[in-house]
Structure formats: C-alpha cells, structure tokens
Amino acid sequence: MMLFKAMDLFVMARLAEIGGGYLIWQWLRNGKPLWVGILGAVIMVVYGGVATRQEFSFGKTYAAYGGIFIVMAVLWGWLVDRKIPDLSEWIGAGICLVGVFVMLLKR
C-alpha cells in the first residue's frame, strides 16, 4: 500500500515540476506573458512541498523522483509538445522505471 501512496506522490510532484518548468519555459523561450512565468514558479514551489510528503529518506526520494521525472518528461513531450519519442527514449524511460521500483521495494 505504501508503494501506491509513494507512486501517487511521485506523479503529483512530477506533474507540478514538469508543468511549472514548462510554463517558465514558455515565458522565457516562447514570449508568453510574465504571469505565465509567475504561475510556473508558484507551481514549482508546490512541487517542493509535495516531495516532502514521502516517507523515504531524502536521497532515496529524490533518486526515485529522478526516474519518475524521466518517464513523465517523455510522456509530457509526447502528449503536450506533440514530439513522438523514439524507441531509445521509450527503452531508457522503461529502464528508469524498473530502477525506481527496485529502489522502493525495500523500505
């Protein structure tokens, strides 16, 4: 059950980090209004708060977040930016996801 809670928190944190970073990217790189960048920064702060809800140590939490981030970044690029990932990106994301589960299996 703890693994499912952890995965829910990982997904929420990743959506906040990627979403916030994406909004800041849109503001700085694509000329969107300042409020888009500010909203992105606020969402990034939310990400930091969500991360602290994990029951693992700091190192384990952030190492696992890294793997989840990679998977979700590939999905974000595909679904939001409409850039279809190639086979190597899918394989790499899958390897990272396996690594996350290996790290989290032992408390």
Question: Does residue 38 carry a pLDDT above 90?
Answer: yes
Question: Does residue 2 carry a pLDDT above 80?
Answer: no
Question: Residue 37: which pLDDT band, with cuts at 50, 70 and 90?
Answer: very high
User: What is the signed CA dihedral for 64, 65, 71, 76, rounded to 10 degrees?
Assistant: 170
User: Largest Cα–Cα distance in the chain?
Assistant: 46
Alpha-carbon gap, residue 4 to 107, rounded angstroms:
13
pLDDT at 1: 59
Question: Does residue 44 carry a pLDDT above 90?
Answer: yes
Please state which of the ranges 23-37, 61-75, 77-91 shows the lowest mean pLDDT. Answer: 61-75
pLDDT at 39: 97
